[in-house]
Amino acid sequence: MENGNIDRFDGLAPALLAWYDAGHRELPWRTEPTPYRVWISEIMLQQTRVEAVKPYFARFIDALPDVYTLANVENERLMKLWEGLGYYSRARNLKAAAERVVRVFAGAIPASREDLLTLPGIGSYTAGAISAFAYNEREPAVDGNVLRVLARLRADDRDVLDPHTKTAVEEELRPYIPEDRPGDFGQAMIEIGAVVCTPKSPRCSECPLRGLCRAHALGAEGSYPVRIKKTPHRTEERTVLVVVSDRSLAICRRPDAGLLAGLWELPNVEGYLSPDEATAYVRREMHLEPLRIEETSPAKHVFTHITWEMRGYRIRVAEPETDVSPFVFADRGTLSRRYAIPTAFAAFLKAL
Ligand code: ADE
């Protein structure tokens, strides 16, 4: 499997750490990476940029220097400290998690991923970050930025929007985390994603991983990470017209692109028409005079991204003399032999 080629992580740690050691941003949660400071900073950094976080981080740590002060802080004061950072549930979760640390873990922020994951507001990335950055455990800390770097490195074609991809990448990365420096390795992954392997216009000429990077070799940095957007499923109401004479049935061809491209269909329009609107349509578009109209049974057809909820009319007309573009008056006897009409219309063809 192309994308599962984990050999591509060979050589990653030495090259990355050499680059990190040659210079990186000095950040307050890096210079003194206690579990509490790493935790608070990672929560703040979830939705806020590094430069914006710095003053909030300093103020927060000054006001609430440990889990006990955080667990006991009044909500008003907590909200005031968080004011301007937004996403206030982050602050509420911090306090709830601090209460749990005090109650369940005797005031010690856990080191294991498993225990960290039991704390409110801590997901896989944050658990990995605390475990690796503060406790030097060999735990992957893979956020969206790290996922981007790793996707480019291996030209990984898996969808990064699929949560399974992240879980798989975490496990694939784990054996490559260096035993002696898990924390620095994790921080260096974040650093390279932030300053070199940026989402737009990555600075490949400055990248220490250039020689290992499959996306770079392919000249396809911009194609990774792969995001497969799911088209939301929608429902459309349609009116289908079964326009028949003694010998023929009105059909028309669908456009060459899109849903049911190029196939033949019964005339149909979006929305539900009244009988008057349906007869007016036949007069206007087909230049035919309806003789009789009756409602057919409704029908439903489910396509991949759309469902048609169809109502129909059977409309009797006199024998047409010529086709009226785009409609073709097909011989009812030879219809199925000559024209491919999709199953979506099957229920209405029964009304012939
Ligand atoms: N963004 C998220 N975590 C970070 C960290 N530890 N350092 C810098 N930026 C980050």
Would you say the CB of residue 184 lies under 6 angstroms from ligand 1? Answer: no
Cα separation of 107 and 110, whole Å? 9
Would you say the CB of residue 96 lies under 6 angstroms from ligand 1? Answer: no
Distance 133 CA to ligand 1 centre (A): 11
Would you say the CB of residue 351 lies under 6 angstroms from ligand 1? Answer: no
Q: From the centroid of its chain, how far is CA 134?
A: 31
Cα separation of 352 and 349, whole Å? 5
Strands 264-265 and 248-253: antiparallel
Residues shown for the chain: 352
Which candidate, 331, 135, 159, places its Cα nearest to that of 247? 331
Would you say the CB of residue 27 lies under 6 angstroms from ligand 1? Answer: yes
Would you say the CB of residue 42 lies under 6 angstroms from ligand 1? Answer: yes
In Å, how far are 199, 287, 343 from 326, measured between CA atoms?
A: 48, 12, 21
Would you say the CB of residue 190 lies under 6 angstroms from ligand 1? Answer: yes
Q: For residue 328, what is the DSSP state?
A: E
Cα separation of 272 and 331, whole Å? 28
Distance 190 CA to ligand 1 centre (A): 6
Distance 87 CA to ligand 1 centre (A): 18
Q: Is 2 a catalytic residue?
A: no
Among 41, 46, 51, 146, the mutation site with the greatest number of ligand 1 atoms within 8 A of its Cβ is: 41
Q: So what's the pLDDT on residue 158?
A: 95
Distance 122 CA to ligand 1 centre (A): 15
Q: List the residue whose alpha carbon is closest to atom 3 of ligand 1.
A: 42
Would you say the CB of residue 52 lies under 6 angstroms from ligand 1? Answer: no
Among 45, 54, 122, 184, the mutation site with the greatest number of ligand 1 atoms within 8 A of its Cβ is: 45
Cα separation of 191 and 186, whole Å? 9
Distance 186 CA to ligand 1 centre (A): 10
Cα separation of 285 and 280, whole Å? 8
To which residue do tokens 């049974």 refer?
297
Q: So what's the pLDDT on residue 304?
A: 86
Who's near 142: CB < 8 A, 6+ residues apart?
124, 125, 128, 150, 166, 169, 170, 173, 189
Nearest atom in ligand 1 to the alpha carbon of residue 129 is 6
Who's near 118: CB < 8 A, 6+ residues apart?
100, 104
Global pTM reads 0.72
Nearest atom in ligand 1 to the alpha carbon of residue 187 is 6
Q: So what's the pLDDT on residue 49?
A: 94
Q: So what's the pLDDT on residue 316?
A: 97
11-36 tens-digit pLDDT:
999 999 999 999 999 999 999 999 99
* Mean pLDDT for back-to-back runs of 10 residues, the chain (352 residues): 57 97 96 97 95 97 98 96 92 97 98 98 98 98 97 95 95 96 98 97 97 95 93 93 95 89 93 97 95 97 94 95 92 88 92 74
Q: DSSP of 69-135, one letter per residue?
A: HHHH--HHHHHHHHTTT--THHHHHHHHHHHHHHHHSTTPPP-SHHHHTTSTT--HHHHHHIIIIIH
Q: So what's the pLDDT on residue 22?
A: 97
Distance 27 CA to ligand 1 centre (A): 9
Nearest atom in ligand 1 to the alpha carbon of residue 38 is 6
The catalytically annotated residue of 26, 32, 42, 265 is 42
Would you say the CB of residue 192 lies under 6 angstroms from ligand 1? Answer: no
